[in-house]
């Protein structure tokens, strides 16, 4: 007997291989997939301005890219001795206004250049709850530990989220008509909003996304939320906070993603890359020993053999 229900996953096309370029943006869950792509040496760029949970600031980011709209002084603010933008994660916080703007605009340029050549764009939606800073109209990507009383909290409607998705689709198309967009809803629960409120939020995201996908010919859905909530519903698949998927869960979801989206050739190649990556991470007992020098020589030979066959793979 099979004591669990399996979530069906549609096979994806075109497949991702080591010559592909994958741009990833959204909630922290997108970094789980991004880290796997990084480990197996796929060309990727993930969350260039940091984690973004809500579809509205993701939409704003893509609008900036497609419209060549740089960040200006009005888009950054000083708080507690540092400068940041409400459109970006606190990872982009800098000591001066000039540094903040420079790095934000550098991230835009890097993203635009990458997407123009990308084969796939992966977007993970985290929440429909948004926070609007006093005097502003748009939902913040991050509140930067600014007192909550200075924000208004609101739940985006299905229609509002659909509008965000339509703009994202149009913006990606303007930069790259061939890129396939893969959407997913993060399985991480946002219980700070409340249990019922989290369900509301995920429901709005899922409903909006599936209504949008009916009309889109470039976008598809990968069911990471459904896999975690149904197949992996047991708490042994969660980290200590009982909210985030643990390593076992991430590996399982990655396996399903690989089976359906990674080419067979690259899946086979990943076995060899995994061995090399583990060897590169190895901490020797005696760095200057003959055995370790022989180990490094053999490892370098394996790397050169792979790079000769697949020059697009870079281990540096």
Give which of 76, 98, 94 is closest to 86, Cα–Cα.
76
With bands split at pLDDT 50, 70 and 90, how would you rate the model's confidence at 203? Answer: very high
CB 135 within 8 A of CB 91: no
Counting runs of H as helices and runs of E as strands, what totals does the chain give?
9, 9
What is the rounded CA–CA span in Å between residue 221 and residue 255? 16
Q: What is the DSSP string of 166-209?
A: HHHHHHHHHH-TT-EEEEEE-----GGG-HHHHHHHHHHHHHHH
DSSP label of 157: P
Q: What is the pLDDT of residues 269-298, one digit of tens each?
A: 999 999 999 999 887 777 778 888 898 899
pLDDT score of 168: 98
- Pull the structure tokens for residue 315: 């281990």
Token duo for residue 143 = 């509140």
Residue 274 CA to residue 38 CA, distance in Å, equals 11
- Residues 294, 296, 302, 308: is their CA dihedral positive or negative? negative
Local confidence band at 223 (pLDDT 50, 70, 90 cut-offs): very high
Give the start-to-end residue ranges of the domains of the chain: 21-263
Task: Specify whether the CB–CB gap between 244 and 189 falls below 8 A.
Answer: no
pTM metric for this prediction: 0.95
Per-residue pLDDT, 172: 98
pLDDT at position 7 is: 95
The domain 21-263 having CATH identifier 3.40.50.1110: the answer here is: yes
Asked if 29 and 127 count as a contact pair (C-beta separation under 8 A), the reply is no
Give tens-digit pLDDT for 180-195: 999 999 999 999 899 9
Report d(CA 146, CA 164) in Å as an integer: 25
* DSSP 8-state assignment for residue 306: H
Checking if the pLDDT of 310 tops 90, the result is yes
Q: If 0-12 CB within 10 Å is exposed, 13-18 middle and 19+ buried, where does residue 305 land?
A: exposed
Peptide bond into 14 cis (omega under 30): yes
Task: Give the model's pLDDT for residue 3.
Answer: 72
DSSP SS3 for 262? strand
Average pLDDT along the chain: 95
- CA dist 155 and 83 (Å) reads 28
> Residue 53's closest CA among 123, 138, 145?
123
Q: Note whether 140 and 88 are within 8 A (CB).
A: no
Strand order across the 43-46 sheet: 43-46, 21-26, 120-125, 180-185, 219-221
pLDDT value for 141:
98
Q: Would strands 77-79 and 82-84 be described as parallel, antiparallel, or unpaired?
A: antiparallel
Q: Compute CA 227 distance to the chain's CA centroid, rounded to the nearest angstrom.
A: 17
């Amino acid at each position: 007997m099979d004591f669990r229900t399996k979530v069906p996953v549609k096979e994806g096309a075109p497949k991702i291989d080591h010559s592909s370029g994958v741009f990833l943006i959204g909630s922290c869950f997108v970094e789980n997939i991004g880290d796997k792509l990084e480990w197996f040496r796929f060309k990727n760029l993930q969350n260039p301005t940091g984690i973004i949970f809500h579809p509205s600031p993701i939409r704003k980011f893509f609008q900036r890219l497609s419209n060549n709209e740089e960040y200006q002084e009005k888009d950054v603010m000083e708080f507690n001795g540092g400068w940041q933008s409400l459109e970006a994660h606190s990872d982009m916080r800098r000591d001066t206004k000039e540094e903040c703007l420079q790095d934000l605009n550098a991230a835009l340029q890097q993203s635009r250049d990458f997407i123009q050549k990308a084969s796939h764009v992966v977007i993970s939606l985290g929440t429909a709850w948004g926070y609007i800073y006093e005097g502003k109209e748009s939902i913040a990507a991050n509140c930067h530990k600014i007192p909550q009383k200075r924000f208004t909290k609101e739940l985006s409607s299905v229609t509002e989220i659909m509008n965000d998705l339509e703009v994202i689709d149009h913006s990606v198309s303007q930069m790259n008509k061939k890129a396939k967009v893969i959407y997913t809803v993060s399985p991480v629960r946002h219980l700070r909003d409340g249990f019922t409120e989290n369900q509301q939020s995920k429901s709005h995201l899922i409903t909006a996304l599936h209504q949008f996908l009916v009309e889109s010919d470039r976008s598809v859905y990968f069911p990471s939320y459904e896999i975690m909530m149904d197949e992996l519903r047991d708490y042994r698949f969660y980290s200590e906070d009982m909210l985030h998927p643990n390593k076992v869960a991430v590996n399982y979801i990655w396996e399903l993603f690989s089976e359906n989206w990674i080419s067979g050739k690259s899946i086979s190649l990943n076995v060899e890359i995994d061995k090399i990556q583990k060897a590169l991470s190895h901490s020797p007992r005696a760095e200057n020993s003959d055995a370790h020098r022989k180990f490094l020589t053999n490892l370098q030979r394996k790397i050169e053999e792979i790079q000769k066959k697949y020059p697009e793979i870079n281990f540096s």
